[in-house]
Structure 1
């Protein structure tokens, strides 16, 4: 099977492994007869830059024509059966003129606008959209365009959601975000890894909310302080202890299958702090990601660190605090984003642990409902009780 990406993704690991397959690399490789001419002209342009000169319009036109001819030749001679490109690129001349697909797959289709989706859809007879409309949406910076419907993806108009997670993990997001229509894969329950003694309400209810009064502070990334990014050292340390307890239970239950543990958080500063702790303590963790980065991923176990915290003495009398939009934005920030919440609590297949300040989170309607859901099922504990029980 022949595959060609028209652009190479910039993530270092992917780029290193697959860059040679990208079209812009192939037209400059030995398999393209025009490669030497292209490289010669590009070297000439580099010399112009060093000499503070500009190439002539004729030279620019000549290079563009060379590249276009080389791309056409490589695409036609390669006989490629699979082509990777962005939705916008699907409307370019090199795709429209040279590629006639019969089948189209758009991944993360809920994250692109409807006009973007329509660009590639016109090329193929059979179209498959993959995504989740209740998770991250298209990024629309113009408020009025978003209010008038541009933020609604084509996927959202047709969506029915399926999830490869345990029923107990899916129940709350199904009721809260999907009108009870979230369909769980029964094979997950059959493969489920029971951890006797780890979960507050027993092995058949693999969810837990660990309540902790941490101390949040403005985040530091690359020695710069960012007020919009937060971190919480107390919560990070408790998260590390939960990781150790979880790995211990996996070993005690004689589970030999490789099980991936991920730590998620809404904030880059907390992610950086957790990465430092994981390295310092040599913790067995597969991924430390922000919630946004985790979109499209799944892990056997997820520990979600919510970060934001206020001393409980200041929250003791909720009536004394006016939960207006400004106050909530200041103290909860992105934690109030329903789509971020949905992504964060639906990445786990076999078990989910949420770590946070319950009293503060209750100021948000969605978190208040989640906490009530966990409390009714006996799945909410003080973090010290959770750890004490698991260390016995």
Structure 2
């Protein structure tokens, strides 16, 4: 409500004034009451431990230091210079508060980050960006520190202590086996603080098992309380630093900055495909033939694979065909994530069996490994851990499959340059360029080797924290950078193939992402019966249109000391749709559902937790749904995956937090790639729940919501009755003044 007051007569000395108040009425179901905040939100900063302090070192996991192959190429520390923290603190600008050293280095730093990326300054450029990212990582990890926590002894291994860490299963914070945590006694008044270092032996759903010094264990009591400080794992940073140095040392200019000048025309071979599905897909066949022929060498070959177009199937076929055509070939097949590597490997094993080796990092847990891959992996039953064989053993395999980071072990172990004739990187758009280069620099020959990149620059890229690292190019993957190169502008040539046939989604689901990101070129080739399975579902506002946007005027909430957001109104709507799906399954021609058929995507960890709790609380759903089978997670967790039914909760319902989302690169309004991935996971039915007024401030969301309205797929709050555009226009015409006497933002 807006009230404006002014004098009866327009006297110059009597200024008008305003009162603007928001009135809100909330109607809650019993479910919303049970899911409500456990305590008012209050950010708790963990007090830093005092100096001076002493460190009592814990016990590292057995074999942690001895499971590596012999070190041939050393990994340096690559510590960032202290003056860089000063420059970051002062916005990378000159300031009277800068030290003399920082002021002296500022022109050089600005010169490096503002210059176009080139081979001459390649390592300097990425060293600097990686340092900036590390500085921000060290600040960001503090948000997860815990205050006044207790631990319990592990009932199986009495030498380990169990610490509850909410969100650890979602990498918030990211904690791996072998990482260390620092603990101090809560309320310790001693002039010399003792810091207890605990090493992670096992990561579970919401807890970690830690080992400490024998002295600490002897004195430990269950009621002791501690402040917990998490640390970042620097190994991944060091591997990237080394990779960009090796890229320069091994003169990979024609791979990383291809000119195309030295590429001769080569004949393309005829194929007898392993996967019959490729026979009718001209683009997939062309990509495989170009890769076998090496038509782009020494430049990388790119398989541009929009959602559901089968880029991983294409990569698997190409790897098989290369080994068939060239028996002397050795292939390194990588991806940024373990799940993507596992999918690659499972595609290769049926035809290649013992020629394939899946190499896992030591930090992986046995339970996370697909059963069919275990016997092809580096798991050692006797030692009860993953081991790294000597290079002579590894070099016998035709194909090694591993993540980009773990590929760095091959460099460390001394696999010679040129041993791998081909390096394949799937989902290459998700990796920062230095991460991608780990699998290339020091392993692939610049003259004879072939680098093959598959991915989609329109889907999610690397996850970064530093706004400076993002601004100056670390967010740009090698795949996306090369796609901007003139050699890769014309699809279907000897450098790049764009896959066009979508085998996943109904055309109504695909339409808006296709128009926004793929020039409308994607063609619907999904199985007709599967894609139209829900076109006659009673829950659709419009039969024949399996897309719903359900408008909800909810509320952003936080609780206790968690900075993450949740929206109870949206959860209530999701639960209603789930119950209707369950009630109608198997009726009127609808398929029977399993929990694996449904995925729920939401950008905030707290909304994930609340949705999972709601599934447990609802008596109807909990009899049907095993939480392990129905996946609820972030967009990042769903990239590369698909489900028959996808439900999306956007959460954001307040303009106050929109800027925060953009600053921290979270939520759906800050990232068009996140929007694209979320809307392209569904095969048969897409349900999006959100605040239409907030979302329409983004051009992509506005187009999607308008499309749903036009096709009568809109449900929920009646926008026409709300007349929000007319209301906003009227309010803006009032020229409301903020506290500083300037015209304020109504929102």
Structure 2 unmatched ranges of 5 or more = 1-352, 489-495, 719-747
How big is each residue's C-alpha offset from its partner over 1:184-212, in whole Å with a ceiling of 9 and x where there is no partner? 44133353213413322212x21010112
Task: Answer with 80-89 or 259-268: which moved more.
Answer: 80-89
Report how many residues are paired. Answer: 324
Which residue does the alignment assign to 2:614? 277
Give the equivalent residue in structure 2 for 1:295. 639
Q: Measure, in 2, the Cα distance between the counterparts of 1:27 and 1:251.
A: 45
Match of 1:239 among 553, 559, 574: 574
C-alpha distance in structure 2 between counterparts of 1:71 and 1:98, whole Å: 16
Change (3 A) 1:26 1:74: farther
Of 104-113 and 137-146, the range deviating more from structure 2 = 137-146
Per the alignment, residue 605 of structure 2 pairs with 268
Aligned residue in 1 for 2:525: 186
For the structure 1 residues 117 and 185, does the alpha-carbon distance in structure 2 shift closer, same or farther, using more than 3 Å as the test? farther
Partner of 2:539: 198
Determine helix, strand or coil for the equivalent of 1:155.
helix
2:428 and 2:477 in contact (8 A); partners too? yes
Which residue of structure 1 aligns with residue 412 of structure 2? 93
In the alignment, which residue of structure 1 is the partner of 2:705? 371
Q: CA RMSD in A?
A: 3.4
SS in structure 2 at match of 1:209: strand
Q: Give the Cα–Cα distance (whole angstroms) in 1 for the partners of residues 714 and 366 of structure 2.
A: 40
Structure 1 counterpart of 2:650: 306
Cα gap change, 1:277 to 1:140, in 2 (>3 Å) = closer
Query: Which deviations, in whole Å up to 9, do the C-alpha atoms of 1:201-234 show, x marking residues without a partner?
Result: 212x21010112223211x5xxx5323x111122
Matched, 1:215 2:555: yes
Q: How does 1:21-36 map to 2 (within 5 A)?
A: 22-23=377-378, 25-26=379-380, 29=383
- Which residue number in structure 1 is paired with residue 674 of structure 2? 340
Runs of 4 or more above 6 Å deviation:
none
Would the alpha carbon gap of residues 81 and 247 (structure 1) be closer, same or farther in structure 2, given more than 3 Å must change?
Answer: farther
What CA deviation, in whole Å up to 9, does each residue of 1:134-189 have, x standing for no partner?
A: 121123445455334442223221584654211111111111223323x2441333
Alignment match, 1:123: 444
CA distance in structure 2 between the partners assigned to 1:199 and 1:362 by the alignment = 22
Counterparts in 2 of 1:16 and 1:369: CA distance versus 1, 3 Å:
closer
Unaligned runs of 5+ in 1: 36-66, 311-322, 385-392
Structure 1 distance, partners of 2:420, 2:609, is: 42
TM-score scaled by length of structure 1: 0.71
- What is the distance in 1 between the residues matched to 2:473 and 2:467? 10
For 2:365 and 2:540, how far apart are their aligned partners in 1? 36
- CA pair 143-208 structure 1, distance change in 2 beyond 3 A: same
Q: In the alignment, what sits opposite 1:354?
A: 688
Is the alpha carbon distance of 1:372 and 1:348 closer, same or farther for their aligned partners in structure 2, counting shifts above 3 Å? same
Alignment partners' CA distance in 1, 2:523 and 2:377: 37
CA distance in 1, matches of 2:660, 2:505: 33
The residue aligned with 2:329 is: none
Contact 1:195 1:253 in 2 (8 A): no
| Cα separation, partners in 2 of 1:141 and 1:307, compared to 1, 3 Å | closer
More helix by share: 1
Give distance in 2, aligned partners of 1:161 and 1:111.
18
Give the corresponding residue for 1:154: 478
Decide which structure has the larger Cα Rg and report it: 2
Aligned mates of 2:687, 2:432 — CA distance in 1: 33
Determine if contact 2:548/2:686 at 8 Å carries over to the other structure: yes
Query: Do 2:646 and 2:686's aligned partners in 1 also have CA atoms closer than 8 Å?
Result: yes
Contact 1:264 1:304 in 2 (8 A): yes
Distance 1:251 1:11, change over 3 A: farther
CA distance in 1, matches of 2:566, 2:535: 30
Shift, 1:286, TM fit: 2.1
